[in-house]
């Protein structure tokens, strides 16, 4: 596909130094890698000259698509870029992911109202409401108590989201995620609650009147309702007396007896509910106004494991395409959030392979969105809610396998103990080796299995270990059951109307204001919390 570059600040021109000559495919064409000092110089000059000819797009947007790579820090983008190129037997370092080719780039300060290093609830809330809030809070003000049980209090402290505003405008709206639809990042679009963990009524404390997150999706009160909701979390919508269609021995999680999947199709005309790939593929976008897809009891599979699902699951790119084809039927435009939610989960598990391949899947989804939309009327924003303590280290030669052991000109590098080490690692997490103990990731139940190796009492000998294996867990410095988020800024990539406003370090809640301004929504919004 081609990429229309309309506006690029000179300050980020060199970020695209290598991308300008590489127009073949979302990952670029490694054949265009400069091979001499003169060619490198010419490529850099060409990037600057290209940026000087570009004029910012200041027109209004008809559509906004917000892509969120959950946990997709800059080191994740860099490693995924290299891996994607290497998987094509190309120059990974010169490769670019599709969203790295968007017109503009800035950075987002992810600290929340009460955290230096944040979780997904307040960071995603910032992006869709324009305010910063506390740990665990879903589209409510920071003054709410984490375990506030009252519906009335929660309503008073709720902050209207861009999706809700879009529905009030008569626009179409959608949410696509590889996590549960009730998980923090997708939930911030439609739910308002103090505790992100209250996903089903069985999670609520006794006496609570605030509706659970899954219920809020079905009882969404704005406009003609959310048009597209695709992801995981099926069990949160099913009663605990009903058997799961894919796993018959397992039941739903709801205690109230409600089957929210049936309520979806009852509530909306021209609606459909699907739970497998066959049902998804059968949906005709021209004949469907409201589509609910729940493809797993909990989170959807990692991209690397999607082929192992007997019932089949659509890819993130598949879901993005279906969503856009449904939403663009509305002549007033649309708002869509697309989340690659499992990047975050793989990092927490200390498993770089799945984090990076899910990042590549996000790149493919962005490429689809670019193909189906036009920069003249569609603002596309790609960012992350937060980063992870994921590092790229050592001095490996260019072209060394990014998942492999660090080598210089084919000679393995060693540490002070004389042992080999990998280029990728974590500052903390379950990959801590604990002397001779090394662990491998088991995707079947997302557990870690200890593996014994001979070698140093301080670190295992990795010389005979295939660190490029999907099950390999990178070593971690500090032992923790789950690797943690990191607090540094994350990148924002954008193209289309108002994209030029993303430049330099900006507070994360600015993302909302850029999107709302592009759609002309700010002028119609009430002031402050409680305006639902």
What residues are annotated to the active site? 120
Token pair 């979780």 in the structure block, residue: 119
Residue 272: what are its φ and ψ, rounded to 5°? -150, 145
Spatial separation of the C-alpha atoms in residues 310 and 276, rounded to whole Å: 9
Tell me 26's DSSP state. T
Q: How far is CA 325 from each of CA 29, 40, 228, 268, 335, rounded to the nearest angstrom? A: 29, 41, 10, 18, 13
Tell me 468's DSSP state. T
**Which value, to the nearest 10 degrees, does the dihedral of the CA atoms of residues 117, 121, 123, 125 take?**
-150
Tell me 290's DSSP state. E
> Could you tell me the two tokens for 330?
């509305």
Q: How far is CA 448 from each of CA 70, 299, 470, 479, 483, rounded to the nearest angstrom? A: 22, 18, 13, 13, 13
Q: Are 498 and 58 in contact (CB under 8 A)?
A: yes
Tell me 434's DSSP state. -
> Could you tell me the two tokens for 524?
């119609």
Tell me 482's DSSP state. S
> Could you tell me the two tokens for 362?
């996000």
In 3D, which of 358, 424, 414 has the Cα closest to residue 391? 424
Q: Are 412 and 420 in contact (CB under 8 A)?
A: yes
**What are the b/e assignments for 65-90, b being 16+ CB within 10 Å?**
bbbbbbbbbbbbbbbbbbbbbbeeeb
Tell me 267's DSSP state. H
Q: What is 81-144 written as a DSSP string?
A: HHHHHHHTTS-TTT---GGGGSSEEEEEE---SS-SS--HHHHHHHHHHSS---TT-BSB-TTS
């Amino acid at each position: 596909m081609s990429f229309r570059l309309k506006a690029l600040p000179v300050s980020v021109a060199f970020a695209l130094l290598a991308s300008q000559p590489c127009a073949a495919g979302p990952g670029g064409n490694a054949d265009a890698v400069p091979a001499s000092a003169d060619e490198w110089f010419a490529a850099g000059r060409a990037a600057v000259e290209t940026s000087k000819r570009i004029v910012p797009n200041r027109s209004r947007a008809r559509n906004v698509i917000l892509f969120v790579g959950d946990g997709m820090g800059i080191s994740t983008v860099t490693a995924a870029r290299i891996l994607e190129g290497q998987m094509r037997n190309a120059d990974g370092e010169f490769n670019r992911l599709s969203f790295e080719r968007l017109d503009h780039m800035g950075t987002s300060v992810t600290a929340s109202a009460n955290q230096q290093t944040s979780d997904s609830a307040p960071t995603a809330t910032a992006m869709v409401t324009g305010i910063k809030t506390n740990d665990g809070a879903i589209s409510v003000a920071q003054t709410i108590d984490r375990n506030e049980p009252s519906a009335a209090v929660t309503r008073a402290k709720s902050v209207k989201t861009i999706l809700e505003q879009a529905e009030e405008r008569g626009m179409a709206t959608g949410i696509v995620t590889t996590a549960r639809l009730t998980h923090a990042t997708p939930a911030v679009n439609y739910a308002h609650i103090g505790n992100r963990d209250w996903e089903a009524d069985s999670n609520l404390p006794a006496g609570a009147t605030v509706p659970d997150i899954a219920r809020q999706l079905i009882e969404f009160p704005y406009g003609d309702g959310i048009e597209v909701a695709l992801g995981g979390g099926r069990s949160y919508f099913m009663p605990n007396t009903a058997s799961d269609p894919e796993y018959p021995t397992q039941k739903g999680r709801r205690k109230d007896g409600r089957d929210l999947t049936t309520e979806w199709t009852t509530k909306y005309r021209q609606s459909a509910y699907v739970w497998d790939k066959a049902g998804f593929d059968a949906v005709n976008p021209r004949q469907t106004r409201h589509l609910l897809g729940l493809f797993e009891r909990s989170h959807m599979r990692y991209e690397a494991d999607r082929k192992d699902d007997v019932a089949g699951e659509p890819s993130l790119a598949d879901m993005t395409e279906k969503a856009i084809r449904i939403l663009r039927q509305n002549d007033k435009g649309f708002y869509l959030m697309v989340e690659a939610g499992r990047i975050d989960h793989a990092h927490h598990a200390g498993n770089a392979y799945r984090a990076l391949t899910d990042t590549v899947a996000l790149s493919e989804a962005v490429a689809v969105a670019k193909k189906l939309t036009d920069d003249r009327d569609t603002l596309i924003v790609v960012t992350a809610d937060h980063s992870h303590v994921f590092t790229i280290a050592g001095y490996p030669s260019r072209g060394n396998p990014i998942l492999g052991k660090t080598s210089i000109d084919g000679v393995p590098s060693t540490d002070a103990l004389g042992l080999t080490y990998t280029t990728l690692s974590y500052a903390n997490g379950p990959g801590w080796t604990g002397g001779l103990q090394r662990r491998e990731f088991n995707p079947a139940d997302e557990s870690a299995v200890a593996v014994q190796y001979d070698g140093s009492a301080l670190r295992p000998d990795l010389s005979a270990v295939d660190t490029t294996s999907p099950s390999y867990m990178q070593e971690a410095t500090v032992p923790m059951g789950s690797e943690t988020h990191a607090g540094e800024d994350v990148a924002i990539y954008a193209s289309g109307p108002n994209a030029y406003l993303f430049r330099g370090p900006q507070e994360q809640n600015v993302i909302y204001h850029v999107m709302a301004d592009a759609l002309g929504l700010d002028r119609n919004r009430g002031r402050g919390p409680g305006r639902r």
